[in-house]
Structure 1
Amino acid sequence: MEFAEFAERAGDIEGLSADTDIIEAVTDLLESANDDLEVLTRFVQGRVFPAWDSTTLDIGPNLCYTAIARAAGQNVSADDVEDKLAEMGDIGAVAGSYEFGGQQGLAAFGAGRDELTVAEVADELETLAGVEGSGSQDTKIDILFGLCNRTSSQEARYLARLVLSEMRIGVGEGTVRDAIAGAFDVPVEATERALQVSNDYGRVARVARDEGEPGLDELQLEVGRPVQAMLAQAGTVTDALEDWEEAGIEWKFDGARVQIHYDGEDVGVFSRNMEDVTDALPEIVEYIRENLSVPAIVDGEVVAMADGEPLPFQEILRRFRRKHDVARAREEVAVELRAFDCLHADGEDLLTAPLTERHDRLQAILSGGVSALTVTADEDEIAEIEANSLDAGHEGIMLKNPESTYSPGRRGKNWLKRKPDVETLDLVVTGAEWGEGRRASFLGTFLLSARTENGRFETLGKVATGITDEELANLTELLEPHIAAQEGQVVDISPQVVFEVGYEEIQESPTYSAGYALRFPRFLGVRDDKSVEDADSLTRVERLAESQ
């Protein structure tokens, strides 16, 4: 296909607004693609390479502006292109506004251009992506100039957008999936599954055309070819237990997502965006070679650690971004693996296996570095796991459906990040318990009460989550003078101090004198600005419970 035809079709698609019309137009494009099918399937999405391939053109805006200016003629500079972009807001419109080809010999005298084909554009861009070393920037400009110089106004519009990954014609992944299914008469479900395991829209389109549904069904995960990560959405423990009856609970780490591919010899480490970060994380490569027993694809997080404590997320980003002097960076910021899922093991795809089975397989093949998974319906146990995670310096917990399959690229209800507390109460501390172990000298579990209209205080829960050791020391110093009585580890505290507490839900409960209990309460701070008379009343608690 000539690139001019692709540009014309892209322009037609850009002018459509209805999803069905866009899908139909992309379907027509794929049906007429012939040998250019794989390339066109990518180009229409604004991609030069398959989604799994971390190869990039490495063309920044300034290089693109320079090539456009050079093709536009001697009186145009890169600054002129940038100024025009500020006015027009679209690099495609800017490129299309110039008359290219003026420096191409006979073209200047009206002899016409050498028509570009889609295959030529793909080949030239692949060559451009491979240019490295001294003088590479000039070479890339030369290649891009050569392409621009052979384009019409409409071709230039979409070439410039393609180079900067700004196609913006309303074609998303779902559009292309449906177009592949429609063009080659294969089920959408089979197309979706094939896309999940291959992460290559061009390849799936070709297989759908040439081999139909049986060919799509044969596509499998390949070690070394990353797929999109399964994602989580915000949710609550209540949501999880109501939907699944019991939940798989994991610590939530403040790390960076990685997908690790091991073929028995070589290790590849890929970021959430499928960027190859293998060279930046040599200790992860070493760990996998020493501890992973079979070829596999493993999902997890890499966390930055120091003296057994997690470091802020920014520290792990320093490692991911490091391309030079990695050995020094390794000394400055140590990283460790926390693996939590297994997509493939020893030749077997596990995407359709339930979470618990995948986790069992992960533990069987990886000796160490596996995040614990606890399946439970016990709210107290869930709260304890969350408290332990926070105490260890991590972010809390993940909630996962124990029976869930692994859906690459999907964000659904089967994985939940415990939603931050959406409501708070200011409650009076009326009791506490001394801690154990290293916290034996601190008050560590605090009894919370709401005031009543007659000046009494009715209990409605205990809070022990969200409190650091330093905060416990300060709270003990604050509350110890107000201890009214003690029996064993339990103390009564005179109502003098107000805590701000977040919670997930208020439920009726005979456990506490208020008749209500806070589900998953979390300490947020001391309200030094409030007296106990200003604390929240039981009436407000009742009103909040009714409005849930």
Structure 2
Amino acid sequence: MKVSTLSEYLDRLERTQSRNEMSQILAEVIREAEKGEASVLMYLLMGRVRPLFDPVEFGVADKQVMKAMVRASGVTEEALGAQYRVLGDLGLVWFAVAKSAGGEKMEVIFLYESLSQIAAESGGGSQERKLMLIEELLGKLTANEGKYVIRILLGKLRLGFSDKTLIDALSISEVGDKGIADKLEYAYQVRPDIGFLVQKVKEVGWKRACEGVGVALGTPMMVMLAARLKTAGEMVKKMGSVAVEPKFDGTRIQIHFQRRGDWKVKTYTRNLEENTYSFPELTKLGDVVDADSLVLDAEAVGVDTKTGKLVPFQMTMTRKRKHDVAEQAGKVPMVFYVFDVMYKDGVSLIDKSYEERRKILTKAVKKNDWLRVDEYKLVTKAEEITKLHQLQIDKGLEGVIVKKIDSQYVPGRTGWRWVKMKEAEGSTGKLSDTIDAVIMGFYSGKGKRAGFGIGKFLVGVRRGEQIVTLTKIGTGLSDEQFKQLKNALDKLVATKADESYVIDKTLVPDVWVEPKLVVEVAADEITISPTYSAGVSLRFPRLVKFRDDKSVQQATTIDEVKQMI
């Protein structure tokens, strides 16, 4: 496919806000793609050169790209800056000043290789080499093609669709409708690489691509998530015999291990970001496991070196910053509570039952102090669940996770396979569970908060691919947290509401932000509200903690909120 053809498709995608129309357009792209370029096209459509879990970045900012534009166009930096102040988009600036540039019929594969080369440049002098490569590339593109390439380089190719839309498009391209989208989505959740999936379907057809899909070592899979039920009685009624495990207040990690190979250990967050650097303890993993390769599901929890007790979530999350991991590892050592195994010695285990996986896990991990298989108990009665839940609360943990003993490991939150119970069951004055909400924007502060630049922030929950408003929050934060939140939100400021937002005009915030930051919220109760687009709101909402470990796709849905009523 020519880059000119791709840019025409991008034009069509940019002009529509209809998810169905986007799916149809993307289906056309997939049909037209040659087998050898299908994966490349998918990555470019997502504004990347690698799948989401591969941390490859271009490493250029607005100022650097503007310098390359000056060199490629001959327009002065002052003139470009003036245009940028008006348009707010360097892609549009290029379109305005470079209408006679380029004209070569570049192939998509060549564009991909050029972008990959820019991303790969590192070390001394790399920024100048990047500028030269960008200048050269822009000189080979038309104004419209360059517009999209600049947005890709800056991470700003926001066309309003997600990987889920691409899966729908893949289904349409194969069978004419979304009839096989569920099957394709499952294959994607096990191996979340949209380029790999589309390429595989193009090569062997959708049936063979989906058959026998299993865990791949070194590629993170979407983790299994717990649903919500109000009472232990409902859990027994819907799930039958269950296993009850403690729920730790740590950070969820997926651990990939191989005894031989070019890497030994890789870890990933629940939203597929590699964070191996955060856990230097795991370099010793080979000493405490009886396996040549493993994929483990675990919770990493910090330990107070003086008391031996588990520390709060915020202390555990200090490992998120690369520059001081070694220092933090000394201050807050980790214990890894392993509760599932998805792969062992070349065999994917996700189709096996919970009990079978547990037996394999117990044999695979040797007894040691820092990598522990967490305890569980098989029960059949509601009162046993309630008793075990209260026992964990008394220990200072969050509660329990209840798991169906004959359940396979199914990515995402589907059915009543895993259910979480937090807080004291039947408690009054507060919801029995928290809500993971997406920050949509914020309001200027008054009084002391005027100095922070933020007084309250607006949050929403998911409704399909939309984000609907739920509540404003201005309590539960210390002064330091207000400053931390403002710094984080400043990096996400947007000139207008994201296309996924559904919001009443009376709630429009002073500053919009991109939907990227998730926070955990507690409240006293859920109330009916005609103002908030969720149809409900929260009474006395308050921030519990920042959830840097969660993506927007893992935020609470409106259906889950309504189950709490």
The normalised TM-score by structure 2 is 0.66
- 2:398 aligned with 1:398: no
Match of 2:195 in 1: 202
Q: Per the alignment, in what secondary structure is the counterpart of residue 259 of structure 1?
A: strand
Q: Per the alignment, in what secondary structure is the counterpart of residue 378 of structure 2?
A: strand
Task: State the distance in 2 between where 1:271 and 1:127 align.
Answer: 27
Task: State the distance in 2 between where 1:274 and 1:237 align.
Answer: 31
Task: State the distance in 2 between where 1:119 and 1:202 align.
Answer: 14
Matched AA of 1:93 = L
Matched AA of 2:256 = H
User: Displacement of 1:96 after TM fit?
Assistant: 3.0
Match of 2:222 in 1: 228
Pick one of 127, 132, 154 that aligns with 1:142.
132
Match of 2:246 in 1: 251
Q: String of CA shifts for 1:408-464, please: whole Å, max 9, x gaps.
A: 3446643333255798648xxxxxxxxxxxxxxxxxxxxxxxxxxxxxxxxxxxxxx
Match of 2:259 in 1: 264
Asked if the contact 2:53/2:274 (under 8 Å) is kept, the reply is no
Percent pairwise identity: 25
Cα 1:161/1:230, change in 2 over 3 Å? farther
Match of 1:521 in 2: none
Matched AA of 2:337 = R
Match of 1:299 in 2: 297
Task: State the distance in 2 between where 1:191 and 1:88 align.
Answer: 39
Cα 1:187/1:383, change in 2 over 3 Å? closer
Asked if the contact 1:72/1:100 (under 8 Å) is kept, the reply is no
Task: State the distance in 2 between where 1:257 and 1:425 align.
Answer: 29
Q: What aligned pairs does 1:93-104 form with structure 2 within 5 A after superposition?
A: 93-99=92-98
Asked if the contact 2:38/2:198 (under 8 Å) is kept, the reply is yes
Q: What aligned pairs does 1:460-479 form with structure 2 within 5 A after superposition?
A: none
Task: State the distance in 2 between where 1:373 and 1:61 align.
Answer: 52
Q: String of CA shifts for 1:361-405, please: whole Å, max 9, x gaps.
A: 212211241122323243443233333333433322223333333
User: Displacement of 1:334 after TM fit?
Assistant: 0.6
Structure possessing the higher radius of gyration over alpha carbons: 1
Match of 2:343 in 1: 344
Q: String of CA shifts for 1:142-172, please: whole Å, max 9, x gaps.
A: 3233323333332133222322333322332
Asked if the contact 1:232/1:412 (under 8 Å) is kept, the reply is no
Cα 1:162/1:233, change in 2 over 3 Å? farther
Match of 1:317 in 2: 317
Asked if the contact 1:399/1:415 (under 8 Å) is kept, the reply is yes
Q: Per the alignment, in what secondary structure is the counterpart of residue 160 of structure 1?
A: helix
- 2:356 aligned with 1:360: no
Matched AA of 1:146 = E
Q: Which range moved further: 64-73 or 274-283?
A: 64-73
Q: What aligned pairs does 1:19-418 form with structure 2 within 5 A after superposition?
A: 19-34=19-34, 35-77=36-78, 81=81, 87-88=86-87, 90-99=89-98, 113-185=103-175, 187-212=180-205, 213-238=207-232, 239-265=234-260, 266-306=264-304, 307-323=307-323, 326-368=325-367, 369-410=372-413, 413-418=416-421
User: Displacement of 1:91 after TM fit?
Assistant: 5.0
Cα 1:425/1:327, change in 2 over 3 Å? closer
Asked if the contact 1:46/1:166 (under 8 Å) is kept, the reply is yes
Task: State the distance in 2 between where 1:410 and 1:67 align.
Answer: 45
Asked if the contact 2:231/2:425 (under 8 Å) is kept, the reply is no
Asked if the contact 1:248/1:399 (under 8 Å) is kept, the reply is yes
Asked if the contact 1:422/1:503 (under 8 Å) is kept, the reply is no
Matched AA of 1:258 = I
Task: State the distance in 1 between where 2:414 and 2:55 align.
Answer: 22
User: Displacement of 1:220 after TM fit?
Assistant: 3.1
User: Displacement of 1:218 after TM fit?
Assistant: 4.8
Matched AA of 2:26 = V
Q: Per the alignment, in what secondary structure is the counterpart of residue 393 of structure 1?
A: coil
User: Displacement of 1:179 after TM fit?
Assistant: 2.2
Task: State the distance in 2 between where 1:416 and 1:97 align.
Answer: 54
Task: State the distance in 2 between where 1:412 and 1:305 align.
Answer: 34
Asked if the contact 2:49/2:56 (under 8 Å) is kept, the reply is no
Task: State the distance in 1 between where 2:236 and 2:85 align.
Answer: 52
Cα 1:74/1:412, change in 2 over 3 Å? farther
User: Displacement of 1:38 after TM fit?
Assistant: 1.1
User: Displacement of 1:69 after TM fit?
Assistant: 4.9
Asked if the contact 1:294/1:365 (under 8 Å) is kept, the reply is no
Match of 2:559 in 1: none
Asked if the contact 1:66/1:77 (under 8 Å) is kept, the reply is no
Cα 1:70/1:370, change in 2 over 3 Å? farther
Task: State the distance in 2 between where 1:113 and 1:357 align.
Answer: 60
Cα 1:87/1:422, change in 2 over 3 Å? farther
Matched AA of 1:183 = S
Asked if the contact 1:235/1:417 (under 8 Å) is kept, the reply is yes
User: Displacement of 1:76 after TM fit?
Assistant: 2.3
Q: Per the alignment, in what secondary structure is the counterpart of residue 400 of structure 1?
A: strand
User: Displacement of 1:283 after TM fit?
Assistant: 0.9
Asked if the contact 2:235/2:382 (under 8 Å) is kept, the reply is no
Q: Which blocks of at least 5 consecutive residues in structure 1 are unaligned?
A: 102-106, 427-501, 505-546
Task: State the distance in 1 between where 2:269 and 2:327 align.
Answer: 21
Task: State the distance in 2 between where 1:279 and 1:383 align.
Answer: 38
Matched AA of 1:418 = M
Asked if the contact 2:39/2:195 (under 8 Å) is kept, the reply is yes
Q: Which blocks of at least 5 consecutive residues in structure 2 are unaligned?
A: 430-522, 526-563
Task: State the distance in 1 between where 2:64 and 2:398 align.
Answer: 41
Task: State the distance in 2 between where 1:333 and 1:160 align.
Answer: 42
Task: State the distance in 2 between where 1:260 and 1:152 align.
Answer: 45
Q: Per the alignment, in what secondary structure is the counterpart of residue 310 of structure 1?
A: coil
Cα 1:503/1:29, change in 2 over 3 Å? closer
Task: State the distance in 1 between where 2:93 and 2:243 align.
Answer: 53
